[in-house]
Amino acid sequence: MSTPKKLITAAALALPVALLLAGCAGTGADATSGSADEQKTVRIGVVNSGDPYWETFTEAAADEGIDVELVNFTEYTQPNPALSAGELDLNQFQHVIYLATYNVNSDDDLQPIGSTAIYPLGLYSSQYDSVKDIPAGATVAVPNDESNQARGLLVLQSAGLIELEDGGSPFSTVADVLPDSKVKVEALDASFTATSLPDVAAAIVNNDFLEDAGLTAEDAIAQDDPSDPAAIPYINIFAAKAEDADNPTYLKLVDIYQNTQKVLDGVIEASGGTAVLVKTPVDDLVASLNDVEDDIRAGS
């Protein structure tokens, strides 16, 4: 028997701090104390709780005796502080790089406890059917935001269109493109890379803008390889407080997510077919997190 999904919106978390903490005492404490058998309710922060697969997930968890409460947020900046404050038990919305950046900037130590999916970033063109057809000296556009710019540049490098200083990193910028690269690179607002296609040889287009541009993931002429170790920082994860990283109930929820076919089918459907499901070992996720955090500290 499954129980109905419970949903708490981010607005509920905007209560005065004293009231908020008092309200968490009933659920948060139960979810993080006692044995695995006693632990019944887990609060998970997400960004798109309306995606149907979350209901499938909560029903599958209920079948295993775990009551999941989804806390829906409208901004990516909110779930990590809520997790740190004990308003959540887990969150699932971010990739490793995002978590690393949060941890360093907030002097925090949230940890990945399981992988979900990676969403490959693609290179698109309205003029060329293949990367090899792009002529030398042509201009290629990439998003100008820090995370996607670096990732887009790594896609161009793997496609043989550019070379990056020191081989590139999750923090590379257009300034790191070596002058003897095959193409020139222009950084544009992410919402404009798709509309720039008539004017450039090719462009890195975020998945969020594909549909409006009349594109599908299958139209990409290149994309990053989810099996490449360099892609690990872009894997989406379940995150927990460090002291809860081995919590058996939380790990069971990761297992339910990764091994319930209806959930996995729903994730792919919600992504428009772009999601690539992964089961990356947690040790690899943690190692990647530590490496990225070290890189951020070294550059600050």
Condensed to tens digits (0 to 9), the pLDDT of residues 131-176 reads: 999 999 999 999 998 778 999 999 999 999 999 999 998 889 999 9
pLDDT of 16: 32
Q: What whole-number distance in Å separates Cα of residue 229 and Cα of residue 156?
A: 17
Do the strands 122-124 and 202-205 form a parallel or antiparallel pair, or are they unpaired?
antiparallel
Q: What whole-number distance in Å separates Cα of residue 166 and Cα of residue 154?
A: 12
Across 255-273, average pLDDT: 95
Q: Which long-range contacts (CB under 8 A, 24 or more apart) does 291-298 make?
A: 292/96, 292/97, 292/100, 292/101, 292/170, 292/233, 293/100, 293/103, 293/104, 295/169, 295/170, 295/171, 296/100, 296/101, 296/104, 296/171, 297/104
The structure tokens 């990053």 sit at 224
pLDDT of 278: 95
Give residue 287's pLDDT band: very low, low, confident or very high (50, 70, 90): very high
Q: What whole-number distance in Å separates Cα of residue 164 and Cα of residue 159?
A: 12
List, in order of start, the domains of the chain with CATH numbers.
6-118+233-299 (3.40.190.10), 122-224 (3.40.190.10)
The structure tokens 């779930």 sit at 79
pLDDT of 39: 52
Q: Between helices 52-63 and 248-259, what is the axis angle to 10°?
A: 130
Say which amino acid occupies 172: S
pTM above 0.85, yes or no: no
- Look up residue 292 and give its two tokens: 């990225």
Across 79-87, average pLDDT: 98
pLDDT of 247: 97
Neighbours of 160 (CB within 10 A): 14
* 64 pLDDT higher than 50: yes
